[in-house]
Structure 1
Amino acid sequence: MTAKTFTSGRIREADYDAGSQQLDLRFDNGSILAYKHVPAEVFRRLCSAPNPATYWEDRIAEEYPKGEPRLKKAGAPGKSLSDLFREADDTDGTDGSGS
């Protein structure tokens, strides 16, 4: 995965996975958008654009289908699969037997 950090403008970070051709964009407000089937050349041009946000609006936003972001929101703690699938008795301190 290739990453690019931007210091100005609305886009703060761009991550590109050449294998899956997915582009994840993190914005200054913390939102993250993902786009599928993005060619590597489009990522390269985004990274070298004078205004990456304008390039995104003109060349990416409506051209490529949205995907599921791999990036996590800034400051948002990640949950592991065990957190997501924890049984009820693990969360309330009981053994789940009802006694």
Structure 2
Amino acid sequence: MTPQIAPDDILSVQNISKRFDVSEPFLNRVLERRPRRILTAVNDISFDVQRGKTFAVVGESGCGKSTVALGVMQDLGVNGRVVGGTIRFKG
């Protein structure tokens, strides 16, 4: 059974991670026998946003604030992807 979002929550993000493929182009990797390089930008983050409440993501420059927001919107470009966890929106 899939866990339900809490009654007062409009967004629930649980245990998500964001990874980006920062490898060299495929042909270069094959010719130079190099492995793929995966960058974990955000690892295992969870939060809930409650209806009628203010929510802020704060942190140092480069800590992953924008990556989290883009991941929730599923807009990480061709090299990025959300791995693991769940994102639930009650609209």
What TM-score, normalized by structure 1, do the two folds share?
0.25
* Structure with larger RCO (C-alpha < 8 A, sep 6+): 2
Name which one, 1 or 2, has greater alpha-carbon Rg.
1
Tell me which protein shows more helix as a share of its residues. Answer: 1
More strand by share: 2
